[in-house]
């Protein structure tokens, strides 16, 4: 029976950081074997399409839920990317200005952020995403805003009232991402596209931003290295990513054959 697999990237399919990123051979085998068996295979990531496309190609995958569930791509073609609520983002930026928090935005499907000056980088020293300084930056002049970024340390975000009305998450000590956080809605859109039953969905994840795709309507697998909150929602907990967790789960449930 055909299944629809959705894999988080970091901590699920790969581990490590930067140039030290490792894609286990067992995971490579599992991805290829699933595709050869006729299953649908996709990435499910919070990254923007522009930030994730190279990884998708490197993994040999042609489908993706991206932009935190607000976008999806099928057979290497973008079907949709929905922006954040622009009015709320502008309100957040105004509050950041009033309270002294440096900020940035991503108003385009591109792998960089825009900032009005060097304050954001001076505070964060971030290497995850390229920062382009545009001194006359006017967020209201853009048709849409896909992501925003606020430079602040943990718990300082409690001072931002507008942030309570927007989805956000923190992966770095010095700043947070204002971005969609419900990968589940992107998965639902893909299944709606194919008019396929939700019970045929299988998801793999490891971190708190995967909570939105751990839905009772389909089968959820947490990695052995996953956060406890995710393991508690999982239907099954496999081994860690570095201990062939993806491969072991796929063999256990008969989705692929054992690699002899």
Per-residue confidence of the chain (260 residues) as pLDDT tens digits? 899 999 999 999 999 876 678 999 999 999 999 999 999 999 999 999 999 999 899 889 999 999 999 999 999 999 999 999 999 999 999 999 999 999 999 999 999 999 999 999 999 999 889 999 999 999 999 999 999 999 999 999 999 999 999 999 998 999 999 999 999 999 999 999 999 999 999 999 999 989 999 999 999 999 999 999 999 999 999 999 999 999 999 999 999 999 86
Could you tell me the residue range of the domain that residue 9 belongs to? 4-82+182-252
**Count of structural domains, the chain:** 2
Contacts with 104 (C-beta within 8 Å, 6 or more apart), sequence order: 113, 114, 115, 120, 131, 148, 149
pLDDT at 19: 65
> Is residue 53 located within the same domain as residue 128?
no
Q: Is the pTM of this model over 0.85?
A: yes
> Is residue 141 located within the same domain as residue 127?
yes
> Is residue 78 located within the same domain as residue 90?
no
Q: What is the DSSP string of 93-149?
A: HHHHHHHT--EEEE-SSSSEEEESSSHHHHHH---SSEEEE-TT--GGGSS---EEE
257 inside domain: no
259 inside domain: no
Provide the sign of the torsion angle of the four alpha carbons 170, 78, 60, 1, taken in this order: positive
Strand ranges (DSSP E) for the chain?
A: 4-7, 40-44, 64-66, 71-74, 77-81, 103-106, 112-115, 130-133, 147-151, 168-172, 175-178, 201-205, 219-222, 236-237
From 127, 156, 178, give the residue that closes a domain. 178
> Is residue 63 located within the same domain as residue 188?
yes
Tokens of 64: 């993706």
258 inside domain: no
Which CATH number covers residue 117? 3.30.1240.10
> Is residue 76 located within the same domain as residue 143?
no
151 inside domain: yes
Q: How many residues does the chain have?
A: 260
pLDDT at 21: 82
From 178, 208, 228, give the residue that closes a domain. 178
């Amino acid at each position: 029976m055909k299944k629809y697999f959705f894999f988080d990237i970091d901590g699920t399919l790969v581990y490590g950081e930067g140039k030290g990123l490792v894609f286990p051979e067992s995971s490579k085998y599992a991805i290829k074997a699933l595709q050869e068996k006729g299953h649908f295979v996709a990435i499910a990531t919070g990254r923007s399409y522009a930030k994730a496309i190279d990884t998708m190609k490197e993994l040999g995958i042609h489908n993706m839920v991206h932009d935190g569930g607000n976008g999806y791509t099928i057979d290497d073609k973008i079907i949709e990317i929905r922006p954040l609520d622009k009015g709320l983002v502008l309100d957040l930026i105004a509050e950041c200005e009033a309270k002294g928090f440096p900020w940035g935005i991503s108003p385009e499907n591109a792998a960089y952020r825009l900032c009005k000056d060097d304050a954001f980088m001076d505070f964060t020293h971030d290497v995850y995403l390229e920062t382009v300084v545009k001194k006359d930056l006017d967020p209201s002049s853009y048709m849409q805003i896909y992501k925003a970024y606020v430079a602040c340390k943990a718990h300082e975000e409690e001072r931002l009232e507008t942030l309570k009305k927007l989805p956000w998450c923190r992966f770095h000590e010095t700043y947070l991402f204002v971005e969609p956080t419900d990968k589940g809605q992107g998965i639902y859109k893909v299944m709606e596209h194919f008019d396929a039953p939700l019970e045929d969905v299988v998801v793999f994840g490891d971190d708190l931003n995967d909570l939105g795709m751990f839905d009772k309507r389909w089968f959820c697998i947490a990695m052995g290295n996953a956060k406890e909150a995710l393991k508690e929602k999982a239907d099954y907990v496999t081994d860690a990513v570095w201990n062939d967790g993806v491969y072991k789960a796929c063999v256990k449930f008969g989705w692929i054959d054992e690699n002899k």
